[in-house]
Amino acid sequence: MPGIYIHIPFCRKACHYCNFHFSTNTKQIQAMSEAIVHEAELRKDYISGKVETIYFGGGTPSLLPLEDLSKLIATFKKLFDVDPDAEITLESNPDDITAEKLAGWKEAGVNRLSIGIQSFFEEDLKWMNRAHNATQAEACIHLAHQAGFDNLTIDLIYGTPTLTDEQWKHNVDKALSLGITHLSCYALTVEAKTALADMIKKHRIEDVSADKQGHQFELLMQWMQEAGWEHYEISNFAKPGHRSRHNSSYWKGASYLGLGPSAHSFNGTSRQWNVANNALYLKSIEQNIVPFEIEQLTPEQQLNEYIMTSLRTMEGLSVPYVQLHWSDKQAEEIVRDAEKFLQHNLMEHKNDRLILTQKGKLMADGIAADLFR
C-alpha cells in the first residue's frame, strides 16, 4: 500500500525548537509547487500499485495557495493509480485556518486534517515562538468541524518548562472535549542548531527536564487509557477506526514516494532523500534532475528498522515475521536478548509478539537499540 509524501518547505515563523527543513521566505511557494508537480512526473515509476495515502507535510502545507494544492492532487491522480478512498492528509497551522480555506481544501480532496495546536496556553505558545495564539488554537478546531472535517488530528507538545502537570491535563482534556478523532503528542526535544538549543546554551531560558517529560508521558498514557483511546504508536493515539493510514504504512515498511526538498523516499530496499535546500532543488528540477542521495539498506539495517518501528507500535514485534523475512537464528537471538526486558516488566511476550509495556514505552529507543543485530 504505497503512499506519497509531499514536503512544503515554507513557514510563516520559525518555531524555536524546530529542525525540519523550511524557509520563512515564502516568495517561491508557487514555483515550488510547480517544481513538485514536475518531480512527480519525473518519478512516476518509483512506486507501483494503488496509492492509498497522500500526505502534505512540512513546513506548513496550509500556506499553499488553493489552486496549487488542487493542481498537486489532480497531478497525483493523473500520474498514479490513486485509490478513490485514499486518505489525503494536510498538515495545517491554526493561523492559516479560515472557513474559505477549509472549504477549498475539502473541494480539492483533502479528507483528513492535521492541526499543529501544540498547546492551548498562550505562555507555552510564546515560549515555542508559534505563529498562532491560544484563541486561534481552539477556534480553528470548531471551524474545521463546521466545514465537515470529522477526520481530525491535532499535535500537542509536552515537557516544556512552561507547562505544569495541571496545564498538561487541561491541554489533553481540552483536546478530547473538542471532538477530534486522533491525537499526536511529542516530548519537546532540544535539537542541535535550533534557536532553542542556542538559548539554553546561553542560559537565556531554562533547559527541558527529561524527568518531567517522562512523567508527563506517563500521565498522558494513563489519561488516554481511561478515555478508551488506542495508544497504537508511541506518539499517537486514535479513537477506534481512526488510526493514521499514512503513518501506519511507514511503520509497516510500505514503500513511499517523497516529493519536495528534504523529502525521503523508500522502495523496500533503499532509502533516498532530496536535497534540503530550496534554491538548489528548484534549479535542479528545472534541469530535469532530481537532486537526491541514496542509501542501499543491508538486510541487517532493514531488520533494525523493523525492530525500531515495530516496537513503537501496540502490535509490537512479530517473531514469525522476523523468521520469515530474515532468519530463525535472528528471531531466536532477539527473543533471547529480550529476556531481560521481560523480567523487568518492560516488555510482554504475547502470541509470538514482543510488545512494550507502558513502563517500557518510556525507554523505547534504548530497548530497540539493545535488540539491534
Under the binding rule (CB under 6 A), the answer on residue 291 touching ligand SF4 is no
Q: Which is nearer to ligand SF4, 65 or 240 (CB)?
A: 65
Q: Is 262 in the site for ligand SF4 (CB under 6 A)?
A: no
Please identify, among the stretches 18-26, 157-165, 269-277, 328-336, the one whose residues bind ligand SF4 according to the rule CB under 6 A: 18-26
Give the nearer residue to ligand SF4 in terms of CB position, either 67 or 191: 191
Among 1, 18, 276, 314, binds ligand SF4 (CB under 6 A): 18
Which of the stretches 15-23, 61-69, 168-176, 291-299 binds ligand SF4 when contact is defined by CB under 6 A? 15-23
For ligand SF4, the binding residue among 4, 5, 39, 58 (CB under 6 A) is 58
Q: Which stretch binds ligand SF4 (CB under 6 A): 57-65, 246-254, 287-295, 339-347?
A: 57-65
User: Does 276 contact ligand SF4 by CB under 6 A?
Assistant: no
Choose which of 60, 181, 247, 278 interacts with ligand SF4 (CB under 6 A). Answer: 60
Tell me if 109 contacts ligand SF4 by CB under 6 A: no
C-alpha 190/C-alpha 194 separation (Å) is: 8
Tell me if 103 contacts ligand SF4 by CB under 6 A: no
What contacts 115, CB < 8 A, 6 or more positions away? 91, 92, 93, 94, 97, 140, 141, 144, 152, 153, 154, 155
Residues 114-173 that bind ligand SF4 (CB under 6 A): 116
CB of 335 to ligand SF4, least distance (A): 39
144 contact partners, CB below 8 Å, separation of at least 6: 97, 102, 113, 115, 152
Could you give the 3-state DSSP secondary structure of residue 270? strand
The Cα 193–Cα 177 span in angstroms is: 37
Grid look-up 529476556 returns 339
Nearest CA-CA partner of 155 in 120, 179, 190? 120
Dist CA 154 CA 141 (whole Å) = 9
Which one of 52-60, 158-166, 204-212, 285-293 is the stretch in contact with ligand SF4 (CB under 6 A)? 52-60
Contact 237, 231 (CB under 8 A): yes
How many residues interact with ligand SF4 (rule CB under 6 A)? 11
Judge contact between 131 and 154, C-beta under 8 A. no
* Residue whose CB is less far from ligand SF4, 93 or 278: 93
Helix, strand and coil percent figures for the chain, each rounded to 5: 45, 20, 35
Which residues bind to ligand SF4, rule: CB under 6 A? Answer: 11, 14-15, 18, 20, 22, 58-60, 93, 116
